[in-house]
Structures are given as structure tokens and as C-alpha cells.
Amino acid sequence: MSSVVARHLPAAGSRVMDVGCGDGWLAGYFPQYEWHGVEPDPALRKSAMANGVRAVSGRAEELPYPDGHFDAVCMFDVLEHLPDDGTALAEARRVLRPGGLLFASVPLHPRLWSAHDEACGHYRRYRKGELERAARRHGFVLAERRFFVSLFLPAAALARAAGGGGPSRLPGFLDILAERALSLDARLRLPFGLSEVAVFERLDRFDR
């Protein structure tokens, strides 16, 4: 994910908003930017501020910033948690300057819906191309799309079909093997996967 961000982020010193910034982990990869964050959890917000993020309380559907304020907006693992992802996409466009970039990631394959999604507070899993269509409706054009966790897709499908979500961490050496597989997965750039990371450019004008 960080490699996709690195290819597209604007010049050093640009103003970047991380919606749902957590503890500010993303800013740690790119300290050359001016990072702002929206995070509703007070403990995570405090950690983000300690990591150099200008974090505030807020919601993706109502960002507390003026129009055209940012060069880039990040919404990683955010949209699937919202009842109305369109409102969040419209807000991202509002706070971006013309030509600004939106980075977003979402889980794929509605048929893989399981108790794991419910426990995570998801409202949906996306079909391939669905995120692009939603972004286009709100004034964005696709710049790049990558799929991740591709090699584990068959195993995940079997696990979900059996009624399980799978553990978040595997024991011992299996966890090490899984991390190596994910590294290989990222290099292969396969046209499918459990999740999608997309980069969109904000259009200056568009027809609703």
C-alpha cells in the first residue's frame, strides 16, 4: 500500500489528509509531508499527534476543513465502515484542490461476507470496479488500481465458505511464511485479490 502512495504523492511539503488516521502510522512512512488527520478515537488521536500528525476529531462524512485545502486525501479501510460512502467521497472532493489525489482501499467480493466483516463493523464488501464507479460519480478519475492479498484469495474463499473468517495472525513459522507470501503477492501485481487500493484524481469539473 505504501508503495502505491509513494508513486503518486505530490511534492514534499504538500498538505495531506489521512481520514481515520489511527495512530498516524502512514505519516511515519512519509515524514516529508504536512500531515493532518481525522480520528474519532481519543487514544489513537493522541498517538497520532505524538507522531507528528495534526489530528482532530471528526467524521469522513463531514470533514472539518475548508474547500480545496489539501493536495491529497487518504481513506484507507474507511469507506466500508460507512452507511453512505458517497457522502464521504463528496467530502474528499470538496477538501481537495483541483487535480488533488484521493487514495482509498476497500475489501472486495461480497460473496466472502462473514462474521469477520460484522465484527469489523463493515457495511459492505465491494465488487471489482464498484469503487471506481462510485468515485467517478463524485468527480474523480482513476489513476491507478492495485489488488492485494491475491495469493490467499482461494484459501480465504474456502475459509469463509466454511463459516470462518480466519485468524488475524497465524502461529509461529506460519505467520512468517504468510508475511513472505504477502511480500511476493505485492510484487506479482495480480489482477485480483481480497482488497483493492486505488488512486483517483479530482476533476475540476464534472457532470453529476
Q: Quick check: is 132 in a domain?
A: yes
| 141's grid cell | 478519475
Q: Confirm if 16 and 71 have CB atoms less than 8 A apart.
A: yes
Closest by Cα among 146, 147, 152, 145 to 182: 152
Report d(CA 79, CA 96) in Å as an integer.
Answer: 17
Instruction: Report how far apart, in Å, the C-alpha atoms of 57 and of each of 38, 41, 48, 63, 65 are.
Output: 6, 8, 12, 9, 12
pLDDT digits (tens, 9 = 90+) for 64-120: 999 999 999 999 999 999 999 999 999 999 999 999 999 999 999 998 898 889 999
Regarding predicted confidence, which is higher, 195 or 163? 195
Q: Quick check: is 167 in a domain?
A: no
Q: CATH number, domain at 87?
A: 3.40.50.150
Q: Confirm if 16 and 35 have CB atoms less than 8 A apart.
A: yes
pLDDT of residue 198: 95
Q: Quick check: is 145 in a domain?
A: yes
Strand 70-76 and strand 15-19: the pairing is: parallel
| 84's grid cell | 453512505
pLDDT digits (tens, 9 = 90+) for 145-186: 988 865 555 555 555 555 555 444 444 444 444 455 555 555
pLDDT of residue 177: 46
Containing structural domain, residue 72 = 2-149+190-202
Q: Confirm if 146 and 189 have CB atoms less than 8 A apart.
A: yes
pLDDT of residue 193: 76
Q: Quick check: is 169 in a domain?
A: no
pLDDT digits (tens, 9 = 90+) for 39-54: 999 999 999 999 999 9
Q: Quick check: is 159 in a domain?
A: no
Instruction: Report how far apart, in Å, the C-alpha atoms of 152 and of each of 82, 108, 134 are.
Output: 26, 13, 27
pLDDT of residue 76: 96
For the whole prediction, is pTM greater than 0.75? yes
Please state at what angle helix 130-137 crosses helix 85-95, rounded to 10 degrees. Answer: 50
Confidence category of residue 1, pLDDT binned at 50, 70, 90 = low
Q: Residue 56 pairs with which residues in a beta bridge?
A: 38
Q: Quick check: is 83 in a domain?
A: yes
Report d(CA 74, CA 14) in Å as an integer.
Answer: 13
Q: Quick check: is 178 in a domain?
A: no
Q: Quick check: is 77 in a domain?
A: yes
Q: How many domains does the chain fold into? A: 1
